[in-house]
Amino acid sequence: MKKRILVILLILAVVGGTVFAQGGKESSASGAIKMGALIRNLNEQFVKDYSENLKKLAAANGVELNLQDAQGNVATQLDQLNTLLTQGYKYFVIIPQDTSATEQMAQQIAAVGGGAAFSNIQPSVEALKVGKDFYLASSPEAVAGQYQAQIIDEYFTKYPDKAPGKVLNMLYLQGQLGHPAQVNREAGMIDELEARGYTVNFIAKDTANWTPDQAQEKMDTWLAAFRGKFNIVVAQNDGMALGAVESLITNGFTKNNADDGTILTVPVLGIDATADALNSMDQNKLYATVLQDSVGQSSTAFELMLTMAKNGTANGSTAWGLKPATKVIAEAPANDPSVIGQCYLVPFKPVTKANYKELM
């Protein structure tokens, strides 16, 4: 019995201790601007980098930041929003778990007179229509696909005999199906390749849910089944591209030189330009990637909310040196003229042998 009470006290002490250690933050920063960050899943490298930069910006600007990880769960994210709203948070930086939930989130925030900037996963047009202080601070996904196409074109223009008749036999690793980045990166790449005169044959195309381990398993199987039948491997993010690289190496798809920029027999492309990916490029494994700018996106979102907290609105302001977009693009929500002034398009950037060292 005594033991039991002791253990209960121990639990409370642990909870309490953790709580006190963290709780100090809140009281010390009273009077400061309070900002909530709702982040879909800290298991992903891009999202982690984005969050770390937010924390840095908050510390530098004296903002009290409450950053919550939804662990990939829409319900958790909505719960976290409710909790922060109850505590009086009004300004939010959000990486939504799901586009479909963004309108509901925006309505709840608008009800307390607040605003939000969405990054990485696009909000719906309806979410931005909820109010003038709901922003997109993100990069149009189709552009990432277009840059992949551009890199592929440059490679095969240099080595035309590797793709006779401009025919690409591609192994393609997709992110989570139905995810806006999955849909638009693929469409962007295919359209751009076709515009550049290529025929795209998908020898195999399947989802690896953004993860290296699933990508490696898929590739192992494909390499056994389609040996010699493909001339390029493309993944929708760097994690999966690196899984593919590992698989190619373990299955012996390597050559003795890296004259064309890679020791692999075919070029492998990713997206994100994570530290791991740049490192792999440095070792002549991964051929190229596209930078999704975690610092650019988080800084833009943060600055928008900071401006709003100070001036009541951030509409029309400049954030991270970016002005709001003026021309509609094909991709939602920036395809709707009524909300285009709320869209801040952070550029993607192709990362090849020529420039990868700048990012390391």
Partner 1 sequence: MARNNTEKNDVLSTWASMRKLASKYTTWVTFVLLILLLSILTKGAALRWQSIRNLLIQESVRAFAALGVGMIIITKGIDLSIGYVVCLCSSIAASFAQNPNYSSAIYSGHSFPLFVPILAGIVAGGLFGLFNGWLVAYGKLPPFIATLGSMSIAKGLQLIYTKAAVVGSLNQNYKNISQGSVGPLPNLIIYVIIAAIIVWVLLNHTRQGTNFYAIGGNPQAARVSGINVERDLMLVYTYAGLLYGVAGVLLSSRLGLANSLTANGMELDAIAAVTVGGVSQSGGVGTVGGMMIGVFTMGLINYGMTFLAIDSYYQQLVKGFIIIVAVFFDMKKYARRA
Instruction: Answer yes or no whether residue 73 interacts with partner 1 by CB under 8 A.
Output: yes
Instruction: Answer yes or no whether residue 62 interacts with partner 1 by CB under 8 A.
Output: no
Residue 9 vs 354, nearer CB to partner 1 = 9
Residue 214 vs 251, nearer CB to partner 1 = 214
State the distance between the two ends of the chain, measured CA to CA, in whole angstroms: 58
Are 211 and 217 spatial neighbours (Cβ–Cβ below 8 Å)? no
Segment interacting with partner 1 (CB under 8 A) among 8-16, 230-238, 289-297, 304-312: 8-16
Q: Which of 10, 112, 195, 354 binds partner 1 (CB under 8 A)?
A: 10
- Which residues between 158 and 197 bind partner 1 (CB under 8 A)? 176-178
> Cα–Cα distance between 82 and 67 in angstroms, integer?
14
Instruction: Answer yes or no whether residue 111 interacts with partner 1 by CB under 8 A.
Output: no
Alpha helices per DSSP H over 112-251 = 125-129, 141-158, 180-195, 212-225, 238-250
Instruction: Answer yes or no whether residue 82 interacts with partner 1 by CB under 8 A.
Output: yes
> Cα–Cα distance between 269 and 160 in angstroms, integer?
18
Instruction: Answer yes or no whether residue 43 interacts with partner 1 by CB under 8 A.
Output: no
Instruction: Answer yes or no whether residue 14 interacts with partner 1 by CB under 8 A.
Output: yes
Q: Which of 52, 56, 72, 187 binds partner 1 (CB under 8 A)?
A: 72
Residue 86 vs 256, nearer CB to partner 1 = 86
Instruction: Report in angstroms how near the CB of residue 146 gets to partner 1 at its nearest.
Output: 24
Buried b or exposed e, range 7-19, using 16+ CB within 10 angstroms: eeeeeeeeeeeee
Fill in the amino acid letter for 89: Y
Segment interacting with partner 1 (CB under 8 A) among 3-11, 110-118, 276-284, 347-355: 3-11
Say which residues have a Cβ less than 8 Å from residue 161's Cβ, sequence separation at least 6: none
Alpha helices per DSSP H over 66-161 = 74-86, 102-111, 125-129, 141-158
> Cα–Cα distance between 104 and 294 in angstroms, integer?
25
Paired residues of 95 in beta bridges:
39
Quote the tokens at residue 295.
């610092």
Question: Interface with partner 1 by CB under 8 A: which residues?
Answer: 1, 4-5, 7-8, 10-12, 14-16, 18-20, 22-23, 25-26, 42, 66-69, 71-75, 78-80, 82-84, 86-87, 97-101, 104, 176-178, 207
